[in-house]
A = this chain, B = another copy of it.
Amino acid sequence: MSTTRIEVVTIGDELLLGFTIDTNAAYLARSLASVGVHIVRRATVGDDASEIASAVGEALERTGAVITTGGLGPTSDDLTKQSIAALFGRGMHLDEEHFAWMEERWTKRFQRPLPATNRQQAMIPDGALKLENHHGSAPGIWLEDERGRWVAMLPGVPREMRGMTQDTLMPLVRARVSADTVVRSLTLRTTGIAESVLADRVESMGGGPLGVSLAYLPSIAGVDLRLTVRDLPEDEASRALSNAAERLRERLGNSIYGEDDDDLAAIVLDVCRTRNLTIGVAESCTGGLLGARLTAISGSSDVLRGGVIAYHNDVKMELLGVSDATLAAHGAVSEEVVREMAAGARRVARTNIGLAITGVAGPTGGTPTKPVGTVWIAADIDGDASSALHRMWGDRDEIRQRAAQWTLELLRLRLAAPAS
């Protein structure tokens, strides 16, 4: 039986009680959509044999193709394999090979014999195919009946589930799929521009409709524009997406900093690396967040030399050389101070570029003239500084994250501008 419709059943009391957020289902959906398979329904049940059997059984009736996650562990809560084996009218047997592997691995690692309860992890339904797990000890299971209806059982631990999806599940699914159409999406990323401003610019665009669906997705990182095409053959889908992206890029120009999962910090680092520029940071209200964003990127040491967390005004003065006169006259959250901080960052880290942030992240500390959310940012390149005042919304965490993101964007736009 070929299929492009699948159901997913995620299993676990943890999920049902809300202790764990189900990220596996979203991961599976994205992986499957890329080969033209639609998840048409998803169910979550607890560690209960009859609930598992009924949810999987109903899903099989509808689509003949089901993927489960969870319930493959060694404890008595783990009931997935036996519940689904019973649904298929199959018995269970010990997989000797896997059991020997588990025993050896356990003894080597823990210097003691494998607990008896772990034996269960090596039990598999009769006639099932074992799906290798390179990231854990529970194998996945593929069970298929004579009519071609199948259930793939994957572990619930996200790292194991993701590895197994790529290693072994996707090839099996692809071989059973007759998809001649796919769902594809492409995201263009912006930051520091309001959704309504973007929408106005997009809607005033000539040349008729985009021919793909467009969603505006605001987050702390900025507003993403997600283009999606559905139910088109693969080459047409790619063409439609790239045409639409091209038109948006013409319209929005340099406001788009990247695509899909692009990280603004990585993009800025790449530009600096290409141009042999180095960065130093000076952070007040963000307290290290901008440095952490930049150093999160492997290889950032070519560009980011270091910086100063100048939370207290003394540190601003003593380490960054901000003058006490400037602080007294304008306050710590001011254009004058942020520019002196950026210059100080360049000087102490001995870099071309100094980035600085000072603001009121809240929830306390706001004043009528400098309410919570008031943030000054600056980018100083070889002594030529740009600074900007933002009134940011959101809670302390959001304000700090936006401050770091918008400072990176200020630098990106400076570096993209034609030399004056």
A residues with a Cβ closer than 8 A to B are 14-23, 25-30, 33, 38-46, 51, 55, 58, 110, 183, 185, 196, 215, 217, 226, 228, 281, 283, 285-292, 294-296, 298-301, 304-312, 314-315, 318-319, 348-350, 362-364, 396-397, 400
Which of A15, A185, A228, A300: most chain B Cβ within 10 A?
A15
A41 touches B43 (CB 8 A): yes
A310 touches B306 (CB 8 A): yes
B286 touches A311 (CB 8 A): no
B110 touches A298 (CB 8 A): no
A29 touches B40 (CB 8 A): no
**Assembled-state Cα–Cα distance A41/B47 (Å):** 11
| A29-B17, A283-B288 given; A308·B311 CB < 8 A | no
- Return the contact of A305 from the options B19, B290, B298, B314 (Cβ within 8 A): B314
- Return the contact of A309 from the options B17, B299, B306 (Cβ within 8 A): B306
A306 touches B285 (CB 8 A): no
- Return the contact of A110 from the options B39, B51, B196, B309 (Cβ within 8 A): B196
**Assembled-state Cα–Cα distance A33/B17 (Å):** 7
Copies of this chain per assembly: 2
- Return the contact of A41 from the options B28, B55, B305, B364 (Cβ within 8 A): B55
Chain B residues within 8 Å of A294, by CB: 287
Chain B residues within 8 Å of A289, by CB: 288, 291-292, 295
Chain B residues within 8 Å of A16, by CB: 29, 38-42
Chain B residues within 8 Å of A348, by CB: 315, 318-319
A40 touches B44 (CB 8 A): no
- Return the contact of A304 from the options B29, B42, B287, B292 (Cβ within 8 A): B287
B44 touches A42 (CB 8 A): yes
Query: Secondary structure of the A side of the interface?
Result: mixed
B18 touches A349 (CB 8 A): no
A311 touches B304 (CB 8 A): yes
- Return the contact of A301 from the options B185, B283, B312 (Cβ within 8 A): B312
B41 touches A45 (CB 8 A): yes
B315 touches A311 (CB 8 A): no
**Assembled-state Cα–Cα distance A215/B314 (Å):** 47
- Return the contact of A396 from the options B283, B296, B309, B318 (Cβ within 8 A): B296
B26 touches A23 (CB 8 A): no
- Return the contact of A286 from the options B41, B185, B228, B292 (Cβ within 8 A): B292
**Assembled-state Cα–Cα distance A36/B17 (Å):** 11
Taking the nearest CB of chain B, how far is it from the CB of A58, in angstroms?
8
A20 touches B26 (CB 8 A): yes
B305 touches A288 (CB 8 A): no
**Assembled-state Cα–Cα distance A29/B286 (Å):** 34
**Assembled-state Cα–Cα distance A66/B15 (Å):** 17
| A22-B22, A306-B308, A319-B348 given; A362·B298 CB < 8 A | yes
